Amino acid sequence: MQKFSWILNIILVLIIAIILYVFVIKGSVTPTEDGRSAIHITLDERTKILGDMRKFLEHVQAMVEAIGDEDMAKFSTAASGVGLIQEPAPPVALTAKLPLEFKTMGLETHKAFDELAALADSGASYQALASELSVIMSNCTYCHRSYRLEIDEE
Ligand code: HEC
């Protein structure tokens, strides 16, 4: 009896590990011909993510413009506008499809913009802000090199 429950425990732990791997770590991904991983999501989910992406780019454009204009308030507003505080948590169904690295990098990028806004508010130089922005933008380029979005019909 004791041996039976021992085996049952191992089976349970294995099942939990598999569920965690599939829904938290791996996500719904397949390899592609261009070397990136395709994340399979619905049309609505893709529309939402791409909308967030265009918002990222618009805010980065405003930050670069603010550096050129030496306008610290404008820089801070542009950075905090894409911070984590502005970002509602994604729906559970989408979270399960995104690989852990993708989720982590998305979160870290939003968080980094909050820190960048705080840096601007603390009176950092425009040069320091530009260099910090370029570090954050390596997240953009890394993620674009690694992933693409594909629509799976329901
Ligand atoms: C966590 C990963 C990730 C991060 C971080 C990320 N992106 Fe993206 N982005 C993507 C993916 C995936 C696509 C879709 C690419 C595809 O399907 O070919 C995309 C698409 C885009 C698009 C195209 C939008 C459209 O309407 O087609 C823009 C613009 C963009 N990203 C800007 C940015 C900028 C700017 C940053 C950094 C501030 C950024 N992204 C950070 C993953 C990311």
**Exposure on the CB side of residue 146, measured as CA atoms within 13 A:** 15
Q: What distance in Å separates the CA atoms of residue 76 and residue 78, rounded to the nearest whole number?
A: 5
Global pTM reads 0.91
Domain chopping of the chain, boundaries: 2-151
Q: How far apart are CA 30 and CA 152, in angstroms?
A: 12
Is the domain covering 2-151 a CATH 1.10.1760 domain?
Answer: no
Q: Cα separations (Å) of 135 from 61, 66, 92, 141?
A: 15, 17, 30, 10
CA distance 133 to 54: 17
Q: Which of 49, 53, 133, 147 to mutate to test the pocket of ligand 1 (most atoms within 8 A of CB)?
A: 53
Which ligand 1 atom sits nearest the alpha carbon of residue 103? 1
Expressed in angstroms and rounded, the spacing between residue 60 Cα and the centre of ligand 1 is: 12
Report pLDDT digits (tens) over 33-50: 999 999 999 999 999 999
Q: What is the pLDDT of residues 92-145, one digit of tens each?
A: 999 999 999 999 999 999 999 999 999 999 999 999 999 999 999 999 999 999
Residue 100: CB within 6 Å of ligand 1?
no
List residues bridging with 40 in a β-sheet: 150
